[in-house]
Chain A
Amino acid sequence: MRPTPSAAPGEDGVGRELTDLLTQILGRDLSRLGDEVRSVTWASLEHAGLLRLGIPEERGGTGGTVEDAALVLGRCAEAGIAGPLGEMLIVAGGFVCGTHLEIPEGVVTAAVPERSGLRVMAERSGAGWSLRGTLPAVAWAEAADALFVAARSENGPLVIMLERADYRCTPGRNVAGEPRDAVEIDCVVADDKAAVRDADDLRWRAALGRSVQMLGAQRACMNLTIAQVARREQFGRRLDANQVVRHMLAELVGEVAATEAAVRAALDALGLGGGIYDKRVSMMAAIARVQAARAATVTSAIAHQLHGAIGITDEYPLHHFTSRLWAWRDENGTEHEWAVELASMSVHAGDLWTALTD
């Protein structure tokens, strides 16, 4: 069964169809927590076409909008599914758009371009390209079947689709235990695997993707914490009978609501057209990215404090979400780098108020 993607998930019948399908696959009670690439859950998502949403059908995707893709991404993060979901749903889609490339079968990942420049060099080699470079931490590179990278060449920037045999990996992991493998590229690829395209906009798409994922993880922290303080009793009463506990909960809920609104505003801006290069869109994406990082710190700290020792056990689900928040907030540009970029974007725009309201 493939959903008909829509521009308006959550509000109309088609959007509800997508939501219901996700609930069916992901369950309601974190029962799929930690399911990885090639798990049954992953296969179900793939079979339903949900991992290629937001990518046009002629590029190998299942169509739909970035918003549809964001809905899937957020719900998977909230359910604690592991895998290069942001890379597949948001970044790879950006790589193939505007090129002749198609998103391949299997597990696909992508190296998010860095602000400082591209690490892979491409040189003409017969009818193809000779590629050389190293990438420090690519999500699930070793487990993937294909990897999208951006490269510099004397003809300008390129995007290239690599197969697993085209690169070598040294396994690495982030603080959440997610694969972040070092990738070494030294290969020749055929011309049809490369396309001329400036990939700098993908940093913003990736930032938006991580913000959506952080929002999902923050929701999960919130839900677990609300349940915990309502259940746990000490000194003869429920934890939530303490005013200080209620205040901490209010702060947690407030930060999640803030991320919710910021991420939605960024998706709204993107949905209105103009693409991620549009000033309004990149500004809102950076606003959401900094907010999501800020809230990652606040929500994970409050969630752990209110859970007590049970929250730091391996058996209890909380760490799946908090440790990912710790990793994601500084990935593909640290929280600081995004704040600085947002500030310079705003100052260059001239009047700050005009930049915010235009």
Chain B
Amino acid sequence: MSVPDQLRDVFSARLGRESQEVRAERLRIRAFLDDSLADGRFEPKSDSWLSGYSPAFSRLLGEQGWIGMTWPAEFGGRGAAPDLRYAVVEELLAAGAPVAAHWFADRQVGPSLLRHGTADQQRRLLPGIAAGRTYFCIGMSEPESGSDLGSVRTRARRVAGGWLVSGSKIWTSHADRAHYMLSLVRTGAAEDATAVALTQVIIDMGDPGVVVRPIKTLDGQAHFCEVFLDDVMVGDDMLLGEPGCGWPQVLSELTFERSGPERFLTTFPLIREFVAALPELDEGRADDLGRLISRLGTLRAMSGRVNARLATDAPPGLAAALVKDAGTRFEQDTVQIVRRWLGPDNPALGATLEYVLAHAPNFTLRGGTNEILRNIIGKEVLAP
């Protein structure tokens, strides 16, 4: 099938109404979030999956069974279908709830452990993640490897019983507070092709060879970190998958992180405030709001259809890239539209707008820039 036909196949797939089970779970977490809001357990915030860091709230979610939902019960999960998790994540993001602490562990580390990890790793790590108590950061980018991830230089040297890792990672969100880092390192020889030279390792952030330096960003926060690794010992039991298999593993992980609701719901709390601040719609504002809603409804329709295929043998990588490109641009458009109508000093918005303005540039950078995504899409579409 040609690539345009494959995309058509994914996006024109029929999707029935939410099952009663999913509906019930959606309403259950919605009620929980309403109560939590009323009790002051969190302040709704845009970009809450990266900036809303609350171990207490993560533990609450873990207790309610909302982390690691799709994992087997023996590892603390509920064996839920992907659409159940999808609805729960949507509700959390739409409410602007603080989910950053457990976010990466829930979204990608857990699924990767289930796919590539050993039984021992699964037993040791998954229950803590599902309980909202064990947090991971993701060590991919390096000072000299941004979009060009395959060029990472952090090296792992073979020693008796494991590997000694040296190098540095950068833009590692919440590395200063995570228990572990899932990291991509070079285990192959310098002349080896990327496809066989890289390996994923789990680094204990408590190791004395690990030094973390937070990087202050223009929003005044410092969740991005630089991580220095100086002969950090990684036992054989802390490799994820076989040595040399890191690159294909990371590529398949990316499909999961590109098409989720966090790629278009980051600014939903802002849209909600926009609607609340302007109960009287004039034609101009209504036009902008209508366009936003059309875009949002369309992105939900796209993302939901990609999600329905994630669990299959052929996860739709290209379709996921399309969702991320369109969704993150929508998030940035949202900020500009609200800014244009309400201005920075509008009392109805308080400090919200300033906060989102400072975060918006990152929407189209993190997880791979949109330009790289478009390179991939443009190239694949033309592939014979």
Contact = CB atoms under 8 A, between A and B. Distances in A.
Interface of A: 8, 10-11, 219, 222-223, 226, 229-230, 240, 243, 245-251, 253-254, 256-265, 268, 271-272, 283-284, 286-291, 294, 336, 338-344, 346-347, 352-353, 356-357
A250 B381 contact: yes
B45 interface: no
A262 B289 CA distance: 17
Contact of B377 (A253, A263, A289): A253
Contact of A342 (B293, B326, B379): B293
A333 B299 CA distance: 23
Contact of B275 (A247, A272, A352): A352
A253 B322 contact: yes
- Main secondary structure on chain B at its contact with chain A? helix
A356 to B, nearest CB: 6
Interface of B: 4, 7-8, 11-17, 26, 90, 94, 268, 271-272, 275, 279, 281, 283, 285-291, 293-302, 305, 319, 322, 325-326, 371, 373-375, 377-379, 381-382
Contacts of A289: 294
A354 B94 CA distance: 10
B281 A343 contact: yes
B298 A339 contact: no
A254 B322 contact: yes
B294 A342 contact: yes
Q: Which 9 A/B pairs are nearest by Cβ-Cβ distance?
A: A246-B378, A339-B290, A290-B294, A287-B297, A265-B301, A343-B290, A250-B377, A250-B374, A261-B301
Given A336-B283, A336-B287, 19 more contacts: A226-B382, A246-B375, A247-B378, A250-B374, A254-B326, A257-B322, A260-B11, A262-B294, A263-B12, A264-B11, A272-B17, A287-B301, A291-B298, A294-B294, A294-B295, A339-B291, A342-B290, A343-B290, A347-B281
Given A250-B378, A347-B281, A353 B294 contact: no
A259 B15 CA distance: 15
A265 B294 contact: no
A340 B287 contact: yes
A142 B53 CA distance: 66
B17 A254 contact: no
B15 A268 contact: yes
A343 B90 CA distance: 21
B326 A258 contact: yes
